[in-house]
Structure 1
Amino acid sequence: MSHSEVETPIQTIGPGPTRPLTISAYVPFSNNAETVLEAIRSVAAQTLPPESIVAIDDGSTDGGAELLEAQGFRVVRNQRNLGRGATRNRAMLESTGDLVLSCDATNRIAPEFVEQALPWFADPRVAAVFGRMLDPHPEGVAGRWRARHLLKCKAEMPASRCGSLSTGGALLRRSAVLGVGNFDVALRHSEDAELGERLAAAGFDIAFDPRVAVFCNIRNTIPQVLERYWRWHAGRDERVTWLAYLRLVSYSVKGMIALDLADRDPQSALISVICPHYQFWRSKGRRKRAERGPGFSCLSITG
Structure 2
Amino acid sequence: MQESEPRGTAVGVSFVMPVLNESAYLQHAVESVLAQDLDVPAELVLALGPSTDGTTELARALADGDDRIRLVDNPAAHIPVGLNAAIRASRYPTIIRVDAHSELSPGYAARALRTLERTGAANVGGVMHAEGRTPFQKAVARLYNSPVGLGGGAYHGGARESEAESAYLGVMRRDVLDEVGLFDETIRRGEDWELNLRIRQAGHLVWFDPDLSVTYWPRESWLRLARQFRATGAWRGELVRRFGRRNGLRFFAPPALVLIVAVAIVVGVLQLTGVLAGVSSLIAAAIYLPLVAYALLVLAVALAPGGGGIRQRLWTLLVLPTMHLSWGLGFLAGVLRGARDTVDASRLGTRNTPLP
Q: TM-score w.r.t. structure 1 length?
A: 0.77
Cα offset, 1:155, TM superposition: 4.5
Residue 109 of structure 1 contacts residue 215 of structure 1 at CA under 8 Å; is this kept in 2?
A: yes
| Helix, strand or coil at the partner of 2:209 | strand
Is the aligned partner of 1:262 residue 2:257?
Answer: no
Candidates 316, 323, 329, aligned match of 1:281? 329
Q: 2:76 corresponds to which letter in structure 1?
A: N
Aligned length: 275
- Per the alignment, residue 96 of structure 2 pairs with 101
- Higher Cα Rg, which structure: 2
| Helix, strand or coil at the partner of 1:62 | coil
- Per the alignment, residue 211 of structure 1 pairs with 211
Cα offset, 1:135, TM superposition: 3.2
Residue 131 of structure 2 contacts residue 138 of structure 2 at CA under 8 Å; is this kept in 1?
A: no
- Per the alignment, residue 347 of structure 2 pairs with 294
User: Which segment drifts farther, 171-180 or 129-138?
Assistant: 129-138
Q: 2:164 corresponds to which letter in structure 1?
A: C
Aligned in 2, Cα 1:40/1:32: closer, same or farther, shift over 3 Å? Answer: same
Per-residue deviation, residues 52-92 of structure 1 (Å, max 9, x unmatched): 221110222333222222232321112x2341111111121
Candidates 102, 105, 116, aligned match of 2:111? 116
| Aligned-partner Cα distance in 2 for 1:257–1:50 | 50
- Per the alignment, residue 184 of structure 2 pairs with 184
Is the aligned partner of 1:35 residue 2:31?
Answer: no
| Aligned-partner Cα distance in 1 for 2:237–2:89 | 25
Aligned in 2, Cα 1:196/1:184: closer, same or farther, shift over 3 Å? Answer: same
Residue 252 of structure 1 contacts residue 276 of structure 1 at CA under 8 Å; is this kept in 2?
A: no
- Per the alignment, residue 237 of structure 1 pairs with 238
% same residue? 23
Greater strand fraction, Structure 1 or Structure 2: 1
| Aligned-partner Cα distance in 2 for 1:84–1:134 | 21
Cα offset, 1:252, TM superposition: 5.0
Q: 2:58 corresponds to which letter in structure 1?
A: L
Residue 231 of structure 2 contacts residue 330 of structure 2 at CA under 8 Å; is this kept in 1?
A: no
| Helix, strand or coil at the partner of 2:33 | helix
- Per the alignment, residue 49 of structure 2 pairs with 58
| Helix, strand or coil at the partner of 1:246 | helix
Greater helix fraction, Structure 1 or Structure 2: 2
Cα offset, 1:22, TM superposition: 2.1
Cα offset, 1:127, TM superposition: 1.1
| Aligned-partner Cα distance in 2 for 1:70–1:253 | 49
Residue 20 of structure 2 contacts residue 77 of structure 2 at CA under 8 Å; is this kept in 1?
A: no
Is the aligned partner of 1:85 residue 2:80?
Answer: yes
Residue 257 of structure 1 contacts residue 273 of structure 1 at CA under 8 Å; is this kept in 2?
A: no
Q: TM-score w.r.t. structure 2 length?
A: 0.66
- Per the alignment, residue 202 of structure 1 pairs with 202
| Aligned-partner Cα distance in 2 for 1:233–1:145 | 20
Task: Give structure 2 stretches of 5+ with no counterpart.
Answer: 1-7, 148-155, 242-250, 261-289, 308-312, 349-356
Aligned in 2, Cα 1:242/1:180: closer, same or farther, shift over 3 Å? Answer: closer
| Helix, strand or coil at the partner of 2:72 | strand
Task: Give structure 1 stretches of 5+ with no counterpart.
Answer: 1-12, 14-18, 296-303
Candidates 143, 146, 153, aligned match of 1:152? 146
Residue 252 of structure 1 contacts residue 273 of structure 1 at CA under 8 Å; is this kept in 2?
A: no
- Per the alignment, residue 166 of structure 1 pairs with 168
Cα offset, 1:244, TM superposition: 6.2
